[in-house]
Amino acid sequence: MVASVESSLHKVFINFRGKQLRYGFVSHLVEKLEMDGINVYIDEYEPRGNDLNVLFKRIEESKIAIAIFSSMYTESDWCLDELDKIMECVDLGTLVVIPIFYKVDTDDVKKPNGEFGDKFWELAKDHTEKIVKWKKALNRVPEKMGYTLSETSKESEYIIKIVGQVVERLTLISTDLEREVLIENPDTGDEETDEEAVPDSAPSLFGIETRINQFKEMFDSACGRTLTIGVVGMPGIGKTTLTEKLYERFKLKFARRAFLSDVREICRNGMIDRSILTRELFRQEDVIQEDPYMTLEILKKKLLEKKCLVVLDNVSDKRQIEILLGECDWIKKGSLIIITTSDRSVIEGKVDETYEVLRLSGRDSLQCFSYYAFSGHICNLKGNFINLCKEFAEYAKGNPFVLKILGGELKGKSETHWEETLCKLAQSPHKKINGALQLIYDELGQHQKDVFLDVACFFRSGDEYYVRCLVESWENDSIDAVSEIKDLASKFLINISGGRVEMHDLVYTFGQELGSRESCRVWNHIGFVGALKKASGPDCVRGIFINMSELKDELLLDRFTFTKMHNLRYLKFYNSRCHQECEADYKLNIPDGLEFSTLDEIRYLYWLKFPKKNLPEDFNPMNLTDLNLPYSKIEEIWVGVKKTPKLKWLDLSYSSKLRNLSGLLNAKSLQRLNLEGCTSLEELPKNMKRMKIPECLGKLKALQELVLSGCSNLKSFPITIENMKCLQILLLDGTAFTDMPLQFNSSKVEDLSSLRRLCLSENNKISNLQIDISRLSQLKFLDLKYCKNLTSIPLLPPNLEILDAHGCEKLKTVASPMAVLKLMEQVQSKFIFTNCNNLEEAAKSSITSYAQRKSQLDAVRCYKEGNVSEPFLVTSFPGSDVPSWFKHRRIGCKLKLEFPPHRCDKRLSTIVLCAVVAFPSPQVEISRFSIECTYEFKNKTETCISFSCILGGGWIEPRKIESEHVFIGYTSSSLITKHLEGSLLHSQDCRECVPPEASIEFKMRDGAGEIVSCGLSLVYEEPNHVVIEGNGNGATSRRDVSIGESTVSFAAGFLSLVLRFPWVDLSTFDDLFKGEIS
């Protein structure tokens, strides 16, 4: 079957109750619309005898639907079926709906109530199967901008308004897409896009006005000085397109202007010098032609006479900027310079402002792809095309260029071809996409190339510090040190978010394809055998990851297998199917032992069920950073004491024969040690018993309240800090303090140590808190709502449960880390940043990073206390995408996945849920807000169990929410085990190595809004680290919380926490540690 599209004209479909309105209001409305040349459709235009499907087709062909709700509307099932179809098209972005409430109340339509509701429920008795979808459609339509006519309204005036609105909407719709989409065409070599594969005219640009206004604000704030703005983003994200629109919008404001396209290519052809730019600036004046021998001084003088607009597009090196712009001493003040680049480091120190072009949201990606795949139309898709569209949109991850290329090449092809293309893309990216990435890769230095390929092949997703320690070319203990990882991030080849290294799917497949060449990086047994036989020999091998669950036969490792691998850095034998000892058949055959004499470069060694008593005696662990030997047969790590200056992570869990750890006496850099299940180990070496834990702090005193809420004329604090030693609650909302009343020095920090609640909301004077608020160790609730001039939030205290920064319009930054980490009692924490529309991406990363780490500490508490909790941490901020670190992401409100085997064991500590919610416009006040998350588990015998939890917004006062927001909730895995314990599903599968199917559906429960996309990640607790699900090749990604089941393993876990995160309050672990050893 081939996807097809019918041609479509601008049409207006009118949905109404004919019996009541046909010969009155509707007849006058149709007459006025047709007088204005608008193609209108009503049901009487259709020949008698046609069924409802014909009307559905007319709705699909239309651009605007007018839904007229009257008192008799709900007498007709046809009216309601049409309405449901209309909302379906609205969701696809192919239709705009204008609701008209003709002498009915909007609340009666939404509920439905009153006479309108009575007729609805009477009709519903005969259509029980349609009640849910009818109610959903009625509930959502009133959220759209429309018109309400009462008994006293002048209908003629409203008809004129409605027609005017229709004309305005149709004028804005120049294509079948109402939304605007950014399209960029990066240079991909000599190949050009097949013009027949894409429509002649691109859709209008998504969000362009918002982005141009942001630039205008930056330019206006320059106050007459020359402003240089850098526009950055990954290839294909829309930098050039955005800059072209900016140039067209601003060019008339400047007497001289120049747009240099593709500076990288100009430089490659060896033609770059400043004369290129000056000739372009003087193009309209013929200055150079009049005096071709003009001196540089005269030329500079003439340039300084007029302001100019300069765009340098696709710059790839700082030297290009220096050659073209120099010191900018020839540019008149008040000029504007825009530089686009795919390398953030290129513009460091060269620009005043940086603007990052972000990827498209899920919905916009789907519409953009559909536009190019269906010849500029979005049609009623048949078969599996709609699901395939979603798959391709998900693959592109919001990159407009990729959406355009794939959509164009799939246009008119069969469903089978689409499916085959999707499978091929999973293995290797499209050649034109490869071309764009190859340009950036070719400009990397050799060390950068090595690190990029190592990350793509082995460590695609992981903690930034951990990945850096393993892959970088030199030792970098400081997270702020110059590094290849940060260089790659500046070039958008990797992403650092929330303290984690992530890689875009397109870049990942590109990197894997490069990394597999010459067998330098191997991740399957076939490649491993091939590497040993290659002419280039095993000397070139840099990494080997073998998944033993994929082995059908035994893999022979002879004594000399590794002796020629002088450059081997990463070696891993693992089982992705199961981390436990379910498989009795060990598929590695090592008949004569192993020699490791040449593995001097090895940094990462992971060997599940290592079969020997110790590592080879000739092994030199000088560069070894992470050693994992779970379920091994070792009795000691190696013979004697070896130098291990770089060893930071050691996992010997369930090595039941381990007796001797003396080989670790030189491991001075050790940060994490896992000895869980080492049942034969009786003591630690003496030098490892020197850990001390500080004594507990004193208990709190009695507390008091001080309420100054609404004292709008109060400009200074009337009480000295010395009189506030027992203060518990301080409410200063609505006051006019220009300076913070809580300024104190270190000697007086104890005076406010009892403060638990601080409210500073609705203060428009303060721009920062001016205090070291992290010292308020008992502060639970910090209210900063509507502090409209607040720009930054400092390091927060450890016990904070609720931070409400709603409506802080100028808030840009938060501390990183956001707060001091501390193990707390069971509470539900909420960090609310709704309507903080200027919040920077770094701040959002800091928020999610802190939330992850705090949830891990809470998981420790749940584990120790055996508690079950609902989501114990919720955070929210403006955004249109599920963060990239979520393993499972989906456009829409439902996602499916396979839970890992042994889900009932205690490694799964935390479940992270995410929903992106679009709020209605115009805004309505939302008093309560919550999302119901329904889990459904099904095993191989189709046994099913379902249960729900609530992801709340976290606020209780009414508020209006703008645009789309991201809501993230962290909940203990005990939520799942609580419901599964005792069930048939649990008894059948818990001990089997069977991954059950699971689905999670997100649904609005309280408040107005629509689920746009959703996500889920699983956090696994190891005794010496936390693994966040997401690495397809089995490489672990590190996190920071430790728990254990023996004195030895717990102490090791505690050492891990202390060394890795020095800001954790050690006093909180005192009682916990005593309880462990008692």
- Amino acid type, 996: P
| Secondary element (H or E) of residue 82 | helix 77-92
Q: Calculate the alpha carbon distances from 191 to 439, 904, 995 in Å.
A: 14, 53, 45
DSSP per residue, 439-486? HHHHTS-HHHHHHHHHHHHH-SSEEHHHHHHHHSSS---STTS--HHH
Dihedral angle of Cα 665, 671, 676, 679, to the nearest 10 degrees: 10
Rounded distance, CA 292 to CA 279, Å? 11
The packing angle between helices 239-250 and 208-220, to 10°, is 60
> What residues form DSSP beta bridges with 965?
878, 917
> Which of 46, 97, 110, 34 has its CA nearest to residue 68?
97
User: What is the C-alpha separation between 653 and 606, in angstroms, rounded?
Assistant: 12
Amino acid at 11: K
- Residue 338 · residue 311 · CB < 8 Å: yes
Question: What's the burial of 665, exposed, middle or buried (CB within 10 Å: 0-12/13-18/19+)?
Answer: middle
Residue tagged 């799917």 (tokens):
505
DSSP 8-state class, residue 608: T
| The one catalytic residue among 82, 180, 472, 1076 | 82
> Considering only CA atoms, which of 989, 857, 848 is closest in space to residue 913?
848
Integer-rounded Cα Rg, in Å, for the chain is 32
Between CA 421 and CA 986 the distance in angstroms is 39
| Residues 6 or more apart whose Cβ sits within 8 Å of residue 904 | 977, 980, 986, 990
Asked whether the beta carbons of 873 and 952 are under 8 A apart, the reply is no
Tell me if 403 sits within 8 A of 197, measured CB to CB.
no
Euclidean distance between CA atoms 543 and 518, whole angstroms: 12
What is the rounded CA–CA span in Å between residue 662 and residue 683? 10
Phi, psi of 951 (to 5 degrees): -105, 105
Tokens at residue 206, please?
């998504």
Q: Is 8 buried (19+), middle (13-18) or exposed (0-12) by CB count in 10 A? A: middle
Identify whether 82 is a catalytic site residue: yes
Catalytic residues: 82
